[in-house]
Amino acid sequence: MPKDVALIAPEHMIGQDKRYVHVLKEAGFEVIYPDDPTFTRGEKSEQETIAQLSKCSAVIAGGAHYSENVISALPNLRVIARSGVGYDRVDVAAATAHNVALTITPTANHESVAEHALALLFGVAKGVRPNDEHARAGRWPQSETLPIRGTILGIIGLGRIGRSLASRAIAMGMKVIATELYPDTEFVARHGIDLVDLDDLLGRSDYVSVHCPLNEETRGLICAETIAKMKKGAVLINTARGGLQNEVDLIAALQSGHLYGAGLDVFEVEPVTAENPLFQLPNVLVSPHIGSGDSQSRLMMGVEAAECIASLRHGKWPEGAVINSEIRDGWSW
């Protein structure tokens, strides 16, 4: 079997002697890395992306953009294996049209993201950032913080991440309500979760955490209209995708006091710049899209992505991981 080339693109995976590298090499791949470690941030031009992938038949992908122009210019590319569950930077229709399998890592990072959402929720509710600054400056204000126990958490999207968050929140004494098109009814019943529509969720929740995919239906979901339906003094947490929020509308709600605060791991434009006006607000806690980035989940995302590539290389379909599964019939390496 001739040796194929696989690019490992995510910055944190570059040059690492980890299990995902061995999975690819054992499957017969030559493993290469980007010429520029920032390649995966999605800031390169289409021509730069094409040049970087010109030798590749597979890629463990980070945040680079895979447009119709890019995919069509890479006739040797067989698999785009996303290290993560989001694939909004991949033109799925183009991948399907060119018979390129698009895979995700559905079982690798959900617990990490759920933990990060809780960290942001706690950080905002307990005023971790401003109180840290006060204490370091020798100030000693006895400001009031928000409780977690006995409050209502509304989860938008009860997939793996949403369910992981729900079980943790319930253990802390929160009441969980959720909106989800395709709920796991057994999980919902076992944990006593109320399934409600979006308006009801927004109106009842003390904390709202967003965990739905970004698509044309959900883009700008958190906007002036939906924020107005949220309980006054509520907290917004978004560890999903920045495109789900309208940041102009969110800033207005945070400045007016309609929202108590927000914990954000994602932004409309990434990477962010220091000039983002959200960073000037004392009731906002932010992080640079690292929700899925703990050491355990990073390793498992790499392994799961590599295993998808290896399986496809050897004619085995990775069940539950291929987004454009309609190409399965007749697909071959």
Angle between helices 110-125 and 295-313 (to 10 degrees): 150
Q: Count Cβ atoms below 10 Å from residue 155 Cβ, excluding itself.
A: 29
The span from the CA of 272 to the CA of 264, in Å, is 12
Six token digits for residue 137 = 């400056």
The span from the CA of 11 to the CA of 52, in Å, is 14
The span from the CA of 139 to the CA of 18, in Å, is 46
Catalytic residue among 78, 289, 298, 313: 289
**Burial class of 181 by CB neighbour count within 10 A (0 to 12, 13 to 18, 19+):** exposed
**Burial class of 197 by CB neighbour count within 10 A (0 to 12, 13 to 18, 19+):** exposed
3-state secondary structure of 168: helix
Respond yes or no: is residue 168 known to be catalytic: no
Is residue 124 within 8 A of residue 260, CB to CB? The reply is yes
Using CA atoms, how far residue 131 sits from 166, 268, 277, in Å, is 28, 28, 21
Is residue 102 within 8 A of residue 80, CB to CB? The reply is yes
Residues 36, 40, 45, CA angle at the centre, nearest 5°? 75
Catalytic residue among 163, 241, 298, 313: 241
| DSSP 8-class letter at 119 | H
| DSSP 8-class letter at 60 | E
Respond yes or no: is residue 241 known to be catalytic: yes
The span from the CA of 17 to the CA of 184, in Å, is 38
Is residue 1 within 8 A of residue 28, CB to CB? The reply is yes
Query: Which backbone phi and psi does 96 adopt, to 5 degrees?
Result: -65, -45
The span from the CA of 280 to the CA of 303, in Å, is 39
Catalytic residue among 11, 48, 115, 270: 270
Respond yes or no: is residue 190 known to be catalytic: no
Name the residues annotated as catalytic: 241, 270, 289
